[in-house]
């Protein structure tokens, strides 16, 4: 899995890029075509519905439906999965008092999109964050 280092607030786009195996620049450009805005403006200024509809469209276009959360409900309540499968790609969301973060995983290892490191087991990835994050859900 090739991981691009995300820009500000681009963890969703970077995760889509990694899981789909397409360059982050392509995902960024497609998101801009769909919204007529930079992703930072979508995240900061648009209603959450615009963010989630764009994520749904990108997931469909890149053939990764089910591998990322695609609704505000997914983000808020997550799912009951807490163990990464060892034979597929997908995404994981963690939340803490400072916010939430989505990252891709492959074959049981998590890849960070905001810190440079090799893929690591889930516990080691969670330990990289100062705040004690909780797993919100895993999609694959």
15 vs 71, more confident: 15
Helix (H, G, I), strand (E, B) or coil at 124: helix
CB neighbour list of residue 23: distance below 8 Å, 6 or more residues apart: 4, 17
pLDDT at res. 4:
86
Residues above pLDDT 70, as percent of the chain: 97
Task: Answer yes or no: is pLDDT of 116 > 70.
Answer: no
Q: What is the DSSP string of 8-60?
A: TT-HHHHHHHHHHT--HHHHHHHHHHHHSS-HHHHHHHS-HHHHHHHHHHHHH
Q: Would you kindly state where each structural domain of the chain is located, as residue ranges?
A: 80-139
Phi, psi (5° rounding) for residue 44? -85, -35
């Amino acid at each position: 899995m090739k991981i691009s280092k995300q820009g500000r607030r681009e963890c969703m786009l970077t995760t889509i890029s990694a899981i789909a195996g397409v360059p982050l620049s392509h995902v960024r450009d497609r998101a801009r075509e769909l919204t007529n805005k930079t992703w930072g403006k979508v995240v900061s200024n648009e209603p959450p519905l615009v963010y989630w509809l764009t994520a749904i469209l990108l997931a469909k276009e890149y053939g990764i439906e089910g591998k990322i959360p695609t609704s505000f409900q997914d983000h808020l309540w997550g799912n009951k999965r807490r163990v990464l499968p060892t034979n597929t790609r997908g995404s994981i969301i963690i939340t803490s008092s400072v916010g939430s973060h989505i990252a891709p995983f492959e074959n049981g290892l998590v890849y960070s999109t905001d810190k440079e490191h090799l893929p690591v087991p889930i516990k080691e990835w969670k330990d990289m964050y100062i705040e004690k994050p909780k797993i919100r859900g895993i999609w694959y």
